[in-house]
Amino acid sequence: MRNQVITVKNLVKKFGSFVANDNLNFDVSAGEIFGFLGANGAGKTTTIRILSGLSKPTSGDVNVAGFDAYRQTEQIKRNIGYMCQKFSLYEDLTVKENIILYGGIYGMNKSLIKERLAELLAKLRFQKYENKMISDLPLGLRQKLAFSVAVLHEPKIVFLDEPTGGVDPITRRQFWEMIYETAASGITVFVTTHYMDEAEYCDRISIMSEGKIVALDSPERLKKQYNAASVEEVFIKIARPN
Amino acid sequence: MMAPLNQECLEKQYSPETKNDLMFKAIESSGITKTFGPTMALDNISFSINESEVFGFIGPDGAGKTTLFRIITTLLLPDEGNMKVLGMDCTSEYKELRKNIGYMPGRFSLYQDLSVEENLNFYATVFGTTVKENYELISDIYAHIEPFKKRLAGKLSGGMKQKLALSCALIHKPRLLVLDEPTTGVDAVSRSEFWDMLGKLREYNITIIVSTPYMDEAIRCDRVALIQNGKILSIDTPQKIRAGFSRKLFTVKSVEKYKLIKTLRKNPEILTAYPFGDSVHVTFINDTSENFLFEYLVKEGISDAVIQEAEAGIEDRFLELMNKGE
Amino acid sequence: MKRFLGFVKKEFLHIFRDYRTLFILFGIPAAQILIFGYAVSTDIKNAGVAFLDLSHDEVTQKLTDKIISSGFFKKTETLLNYSDIDKVFKKGKTKAVIIFEDDFGKKLVSEGKATLSIIADGSEPNTATLVTNYTTAIVNDFASEFAGPTLNNSIRISPEVKMLYNPNLKSHFMFVPGVITLILILICALMTSVTITREKEFGTMEVLLVSPLRPIQIILGKVMPYFILSFINVLLILVLSWFVFGLPVKGSLMLLLAECMLYILMSLTLGILISTVSKNMQQAIFISLIGLMLPTILLSGFIFPIENMPKIYDYVSSVLPPRYFIVIIKNIMIKGTGLMYIWKETIILIIMTLVFIGLSVRKFKIRLE
């Protein structure tokens, strides 16, 4: 029984009378790759914001990395990494400047930042890009770098919001190998995606619809349960049950 | 300007090859190049698209799809090369061309503070027609959003915005429909519905060009062009592109996905090993049988591997072509 | 603390890499100092004075010369009778009229006192006050010189001061027309400058371009609704000025409204021109507000008379539409003139409007680059 880094019991989040999250229940273990799927507007972003300490639940118990989501949001923020599609790194700063900046924000000391910077550049084979502006890098490289920065401080959990949107197929796969490696090192990866084949890479996936979780299991078991050949088919069968 | 040849006429009299040559080309492009500063967005692009075809441009971000579409819709000028759209030159005859194209650009570009109805009426009027006149063209699509016709466009969900944008692009019955990444960022169900809607438009003889980063959408097109880094890797029907895969392809499944990939990569006989959902697609340097592979995996500690030979998909071919280019 | 400093460092980097912001940060204060320094002056220089000499004697000649040679004034006209006074003010170049009474010289010598009248253009209260003060000082100086070294205070020249058009010298008469000019151009230019750039930013322009709509249709189509709304705005402003400040409309109301609509049209088309050259809304707002506000306030003659500034500002000011409209609006409202006195300014505004429309159509980008 692996140790649970996220526990969610009866989570409800309301905006006025609109119920964005309707009684959610799930747990995520350490080192798990957890896929969070659902149509736009289903409530995924709301849940992620609560889990990353950016907003508070209306009711229910939510614990992230051992901290309470109502009273300990600052500690949560310190123990997680976050990468969203719209913005990840400052475009008018260089690779090195971004890493030093984020290292500082995460509270890492100078020598540790230097060490990680060198490691990161070597692993991604980015040495020649060290002093290039982010805006000069192609999208695939930016995404890989953004991910590395999100886990620079070795957080317990990293949240990835559609990290591979629009990226070429080779880079996408390289990215997922980075995710695998990260998970293998004990960091939990919480990822949302619209690429259904990427759902298969996850240990477990949950599908949200209209504020509720309508499916939660490993891809293999879900496919068996819905008699589907792919996660995409599962998705379609759930959305349009005829 | 050549008049479009009658469909029936063609069916009866000509062989398939001649038909293709004789068919009116909706778009003819040769040697199109476009550079932005140091980046070459399009590199010597040549292709032709037949009338009434559903043609897909498949490729990731930065491949050049949007730049190409903007040249087709006369919003950008190419640095080099020629292009004729609907028989008209895209540089000099842009005024006339702009009356005949229905364009849906990359992100949602309708008026967020106008209602569904108001947006549709506006575009109908701008093109000198009315919603009633061509309603049958959009009736299936509009049916999904009609209950929300008084709602402001900015308040619609992603899938509904997409349907509204498509309706507005079609309302003046264009000869050419240009859709730039209409399915990006939208969930799988809406994507599938969108392609169903496009399929139904075939009966109206509208030429449709679509760009998408999703490889699995290629099979919904009559022909596709695989595009990457400003170059066309391949143009053909989806079936022929798949058939062009030059090696034998094997799928390998195991519960421990990451360990499987690492183990496969270590083997010197293996040319490529790419994760593809719940399996890994493997090709060998010399086409060998799967038995040796199974033994190798068992030796490395993976005993539950399921290995099968498989047909290559569009994405497999795309990856192969990408690697050739490097 | 380390976090904080890291963040501050990042902010510095953003600022220094953004050349446009740097330019604004250092360029604008420098420009303001220069403009303020030179343009803003409460001294008078070469203020136009007309003379109505009913006496025509040596004394009046000497006093006239003294006034003209003081460096503060220049002679605009020699008037022949009272009815010329109103006309000369309406022409706008004269700030004061000095009237020497009959037998000025004789009276001064025989009785020891004489009167002269100073009639100042009250529609510019600040200037009027300065002019009368300076003139009075020069006159008193003359009087004591005339009296001679005997220090005989028996020579007295009493200037009678009258403010034409604005007897009580209400400063509203200066400010309110100026404020109307300022507000109308800012609001109108702002409204239209944002509308085209908004379409560019939101992406709706892309779809509009791939349609049969022609640039002139888009431009005029965007001006129309604002034109109508601005008309209501003008009525509102005029009503408020009348009720709250007691500002009259001495001249023809129809003419005033027509001129206001012309000015509005000019401002709206100026806004459109700004939007064709702006890449985004931020730029558009910046240019229309900041770019227009200071020059309008400082260089249009609104508060600081242009005559008082170095010549170069006169040239700069001559391309600013508000300069002409201020003349028009003051003439109609406060001096009650008709079209005859303001036709030049009106034509200039019409030409400007046509130029703006023409430039907008030319600069309107029919493609995306």
Q: Indicate yes or no: CB of B185 within 8 angstroms of CB of A181.
A: no
CA B275 → CA B219, B251, B319, C112, C257, distances in Å?
Answer: 21, 9, 12, 114, 74
Q: Give the Cα separation of B136 and C31 in Å (integer).
A: 62
Q: Give the Cα separation of B112 and C66 in Å (integer).
A: 71
* C:33-72 residues touching chain B, CB 8 A cutoff: none
Q: Indicate yes or no: CB of C13 within 8 angstroms of CB of A105.
A: no
Is B106 domain-assigned? yes
Is B271 domain-assigned? yes
Does one domain contain both B227 and B268? Answer: no
Look at residue B3 in the predicted model and tell me its pLDDT.
44
> Would the pLDDT of B276 be above 50?
yes
Tell me the mean pLDDT in the region B42-46. Answer: 95
B74 contacts on C by Cβ (under 8 Å): 210, 367
Does one domain contain both B189 and B277? Answer: no
Does one domain contain both B225 and B277? Answer: no
The letter for the amino acid at B93 is E
Q: Give the Cα separation of C13 and C6 in Å (integer).
A: 11
Q: Give the Cα separation of C73 and C64 in Å (integer).
A: 10
Look at residue B2 in the predicted model and tell me its pLDDT.
41
CATH number at residue B147: 3.40.50.300
Which of B213, B277, B319 comes nearest A170 by C-beta? B319
Is B133 domain-assigned? yes
Which of B61, B276, B319 comes nearest A197 by C-beta? B276
Does one domain contain both B257 and B173? Answer: no
Look at residue B150 in the predicted model and tell me its pLDDT.
94
Express each pLDDT in C2-24 by its tens digit.
778 878 888 888 888 877 777 77
Which DSSP symbol is given to B255?
A: S
Look at residue C201 in the predicted model and tell me its pLDDT.
87
Q: Is the distance from CB of B219 to CB of B195 less than 8 angstroms? A: no
Confidence of residue B1 (pLDDT cuts 50, 70, 90): very low
- For chain A, counts of helices (H) and of strands (E): 9, 10
Domain count, chain B: 2
Q: Give the Cα separation of B222 and B224 in Å (integer).
A: 7
Does one domain contain both B216 and B257? Answer: no
- Six-digit token pair at A122? 């070597």
Confidence of residue B273 (pLDDT cuts 50, 70, 90): very high
Q: Is the distance from CB of B221 to CB of B210 less than 8 angstroms? A: yes
> Would the pLDDT of B185 be above 80?
no
Q: Is residue B315 within 8 angstroms of chain A, CB to CB?
A: yes
Q: Indicate yes or no: CB of C14 within 8 angstroms of CB of A92.
A: yes
Average pLDDT score over chain B:
88
Q: Is residue C2 within 8 angstroms of chain A, CB to CB?
A: yes
Pairing of strands B207-212, B176-180: parallel
Q: Indicate yes or no: CB of B94 within 8 angstroms of CB of C212.
A: no
Q: Indicate yes or no: CB of C210 within 8 angstroms of CB of B74.
A: yes
Compare all CA atoms of chain B with the CA of C204 and give the residue at the minimum distance: B109
Q: Indicate yes or no: CB of C10 within 8 angstroms of CB of A92.
A: no
Q: Give the Cα separation of C207 and B123 in Å (integer).
A: 9
Look at residue B119 in the predicted model and tell me its pLDDT.
94
Does one domain contain both B321 and B182? Answer: no
Other C-beta atoms within 10 Å of B15: how many?
7
Does one domain contain both B63 and B211? Answer: yes
**Tokens 């109103």 sit at which residue?**
C86
Q: Is residue C17 within 8 angstroms of chain A, CB to CB?
A: yes
C10 contacts on A by Cβ (under 8 Å): 90, 93, 97, 101
Look at residue B10 in the predicted model and tell me its pLDDT.
47
Q: Give the Cα separation of C369 and C363 in Å (integer).
A: 12
Confidence of residue B9 (pLDDT cuts 50, 70, 90): very low
Q: Is the distance from CB of C165 to CB of C95 less than 8 angstroms? A: no
The four Cα atoms B220, B221, B222, B227 give a dihedral, to 10 degrees, of: -140
The three-point CA angle B36-B39-B44 to 5° equals 85
Is B244 domain-assigned? no
Q: Is residue C368 within 8 angstroms of chain B, CB to CB?
A: yes
> Would the pLDDT of A131 be above 50?
yes
Q: Indicate yes or no: CB of A93 within 8 angstroms of CB of C13.
A: yes
Is B2 domain-assigned? no
Give residue limits of the domains in chain A. 4-86+156-239
CA distance C240 to chain B (A): 33
pTM for the model: 0.82
Compare all CA atoms of chain B with the CA of C365 and give the residue at the minimum distance: B75
CA distance B232 to chain C (A): 24
Which of B99, B107, B111 comes nearest C212 by C-beta? B99
Best CA proximity match to B257, nearest among A219, A157, A227, A223: A219
CA A61 → CA A45, A191, B293, C8, C63, distances in Å?
Answer: 18, 21, 49, 37, 96
- Partnered with residue C115 across adjacent β-strands are C158
Q: Which of B237, B270, B294 is at the close of a domain?
A: B237
Best mutation target, B39, B68, B72, B75, to test chain C (most C CBs within 10 A): B75
The letter for the amino acid at C313 is Y
Best mutation target, A77, A89, A90, A112, to test chain C (most C CBs within 10 A): A90
Other C-beta atoms within 10 Å of A75: how many?
15
C204 contacts on B by Cβ (under 8 Å): 109-111
Does one domain contain both B202 and B277? Answer: no
Confidence of residue B326 (pLDDT cuts 50, 70, 90): low
Confidence of residue B200 (pLDDT cuts 50, 70, 90): confident
Which DSSP symbol is given to B311?
A: -
CA C336 → CA C249, C256, C327, distances in Å?
Answer: 7, 10, 12
Which of A168, A200, A219 comes nearest B60 by C-beta? A168
Q: Indicate yes or no: CB of A166 within 8 angstroms of CB of B61.
A: yes
CATH number at residue B310: 3.30.70.100
Neighbours of chain B (3+ CB pairs under 8 A): A, C
Best CA proximity match to B259, nearest among B248, B276, B275: B275
CA distance C25 to chain B (A): 29
* Residue-range domains of chain C with CATH: 47-164 (3.40.1710.10), 172-363 (no CATH)
Express each pLDDT in A162-202 by its tens digit.
888 778 888 889 889 999 999 999 999 999 987 888 899 99
* B:226-245 residues touching chain A, CB 8 A cutoff: 228
Per-residue tens of pLDDT for chain C, all 369 residues: 777 887 888 888 888 887 777 777 788 778 777 777 777 767 787 889 999 998 888 888 998 999 999 888 999 989 988 888 888 888 888 889 999 988 888 888 888 888 889 999 888 888 888 888 999 899 888 888 877 765 556 677 888 888 888 777 777 777 888 888 998 999 999 999 998 899 888 889 999 999 999 989 999 999 999 999 989 988 998 898 888 888 878 888 899 999 999 999 999 999 999 998 888 888 888 888 877 888 888 888 877 777 777 778 888 888 899 999 999 998 898 888 888 889 999 999 999 999 999 999 999 988 887
Q: Is residue B108 within 8 angstroms of chain A, CB to CB?
A: no
A77 contacts on C by Cβ (under 8 Å): none
Tell me the mean pLDDT in the region B146-168. Answer: 90
A171 contacts on B by Cβ (under 8 Å): 60
Residues of B with CB under 8 A from a CB of C: 70, 73-77, 94, 98-99, 101, 103-112, 123, 126-128, 168
A92 contacts on C by Cβ (under 8 Å): 13-14, 17-18
- Partnered with residue A175 across adjacent β-strands are none
Does one domain contain both B125 and B151? Answer: yes
Q: Is residue C5 within 8 angstroms of chain A, CB to CB?
A: yes
SS3 state at A239: helix
Is B242 domain-assigned? no
Q: Give the Cα separation of C230 and C225 in Å (integer).
A: 9
Q: Is residue C7 within 8 angstroms of chain A, CB to CB?
A: yes
Best mutation target, C199, C202, C209, C210, to test chain B (most B CBs within 10 A): C210
Which of C207, C211, C369 comes nearest B76 by C-beta? C369
ipTM above 0.95 for this complex = no
Any long-range contacts for C237-242 (C-beta under 8 Å, 24+ apart)? C237/C180, C237/C183, C237/C184, C238/C180, C241/C176, C241/C180
Does one domain contain both B321 and B268? Answer: yes
Q: Is residue B273 within 8 angstroms of chain A, CB to CB?
A: no
Best mutation target, B211, B231, B258, B262, to test chain A (most A CBs within 10 A): B258
Q: Indicate yes or no: CB of B277 within 8 angstroms of CB of A220.
A: no
B123 contacts on C by Cβ (under 8 Å): 207, 211
The letter for the amino acid at A157 is I
Which of A92, A97, A104 comes nearest C3 by C-beta? A104
Q: Which of B237, B272, B295 is at the close of a domain?
A: B237
Best mutation target, A174, A179, A194, A237, to test chain B (most B CBs within 10 A): A194
| Superfamily of the domain at A4-86+156-239 | P-loop containing nucleotide triphosphate hydrolases (3.40.50.300)
B277 contacts on A by Cβ (under 8 Å): 196-201, 230-231
Q: Indicate yes or no: CB of A92 within 8 angstroms of CB of C17.
A: yes
Look at residue A9 in the predicted model and tell me its pLDDT.
95
CA distance A20 to chain C (A): 27
Q: Indicate yes or no: CB of C6 within 8 angstroms of CB of A101.
A: yes
Look at residue C149 in the predicted model and tell me its pLDDT.
65
Does one domain contain both B217 and B319? Answer: no
Best mutation target, A85, A132, A139, A170, to test chain B (most B CBs within 10 A): A170
Confidence of residue A242 (pLDDT cuts 50, 70, 90): low
| Residue B320: domain span | 249-325
Does one domain contain both B154 and B80? Answer: yes
